[in-house]
Amino acid sequence: MRHLRRKLLFNSFIVSIVFVLAGACNPEHDIDLDQIPIETKLQRFDLAFFETDTTDFESELQKLQAQYPPFFSSKSELIFWENQRRDPLQLELFEKVQAVFGDMAAYELELSNILKRYYYYFGIEDSIKAYSYISRLDFNFPVVFAPPYLFLATDLYLGEPGQKFYAPLPQYLQFERQPSFLLRDAAYALAESKVPKPAEPQSFLDAMLYHGKLLWLTERLIPSIIEAGLLKYPQAKFDFSLAHEKEMWVYFIENELLFKSDQETQRRFLEVAPFSKFRTQIDQETPGRIGQWFGYKVFSEYAASADDISLNALLREMDSRKVLKLSGYKP
């Protein structure tokens, strides 16, 4: 137990150091957080639920219902929650979560700062309440933002200790289940609530810039993140993208893809996949969703040249041809 406690403290220390050192790379993206008075506490439903006293579970459940109302409905049944509390998979996942995340103090601090940036950019209407929970490996919903609630499924970010649970996933999806992506995905979920979608039918460029806006805003909410982490790319594939940026962009231009509205083009370059489909011999060296990276590159250039335009106005700009032209993007 003493060894485990030291390990948890060490993990929290490392998370803090990573955020501090990475944040120093992008100071221009940050703001004065002291002007935002709201501090967010990560409410750990996972911890509270699996530490309940099973000898008087009905009474304990009533306390949980009062403290964590978003997890309960008026039709919540005692037998369901008793089964959840005894479920061997749930118990094993909780054990792994505690080993990987510990008390989550470092994550809570950075999450609070992410939300402060969100309030700074979009105002404070209802303060957001954040909860961690165990989803029983619900891979479709690792992070859910349902205002005013933000739900983080800690069992989906275990990294190597969760390998046995993630084994059914293809390798490129297993990669996304690392602890370092938990807060990135939280920031991304917040960004999704603020970036308007282009009207249908949308061109490849429209869709590319929509995803680019999401990534750009995510970076504003968590400026400590490195670009490979923002994209959730393995370092080797990110390095490949940097080395071949010009050739890939030229491919889009020469094949006149930017203004096409067919779904096939968007599937090839925007959807989650092990690699992007240029139909060449080196496709497998590319990361999936490469069109999202180009959208981020173009929109970042556009935003950097538009100092007199507010963040909200930038996000509402839907003329993709205008954005591309004014960005001056040239890899």
pLDDT tens digits, residue range 64-118? 999 999 999 877 788 999 999 999 999 999 999 999 999 999 999 999 999 999 9
Mean pLDDT of the chain: 90
Percent of all residues in the chain with a pLDDT value above 70, rounded to a whole number: 90
pLDDT tens digits, residue range 235-281? 999 999 999 999 999 999 999 999 999 999 999 999 999 999 999 99
Q: What mean pLDDT do residues 307-323 have?
A: 95
Report the Cα–Cα distance between both ends of the chain, in Å, rounded.
53
* pLDDT of 171 above 50: yes
Q: What mean pLDDT do residues 280-295 have?
A: 96
Torsions phi, psi for 153 (to 5 deg) = -85, 95
Percent of all residues in the chain with a pLDDT value above 90, rounded to a whole number: 83
Q: Given the DSSP bridges, would you call strands 149-153 and 143-146 parallel, antiparallel or unpaired?
A: antiparallel
- Position 30 scores a pLDDT of 66
Cβ-proximal residues to 34 (8 Å cutoff; 6+ apart), any chain: none
The encoded tokens of residue 148 equal 């005013």
The encoded tokens of residue 69 equal 């109302």
Q: Where are the alpha helices (DSSP H) in 102-226?
A: 105-122, 163-166, 171-174, 182-192, 204-221
Q: The whole model's pTM is what?
A: 0.90
* pLDDT of 1 above 50: no
- Position 174 scores a pLDDT of 97
Cβ-proximal residues to 85 (8 Å cutoff; 6+ apart), any chain: 49, 50, 52, 54, 57
CA–CA distance, 282 with 141 (Å, rounded to integer): 32
Distances, alpha carbon 20 to alpha carbons 13, 23, 148, 160, 268, in Å: 11, 5, 28, 24, 36
Q: What mean pLDDT do residues 154-178 have?
A: 97
CA–CA distance, 122 with 117 (Å, rounded to integer): 9
Confidence of residue 124 (pLDDT cuts 50, 70, 90): confident
Q: Where are the beta strands (DSSP E) in the chain?
A: 42-44, 129-133, 143-146, 149-153
- Position 16 scores a pLDDT of 39
326/21: higher pLDDT: 326
- Position 29 scores a pLDDT of 60
- Position 234 scores a pLDDT of 97
The CA radius of gyration of the chain, in Å to the nearest whole number, is 21
pLDDT tens digits, residue range 13-33? 434 333 433 333 344 466 889
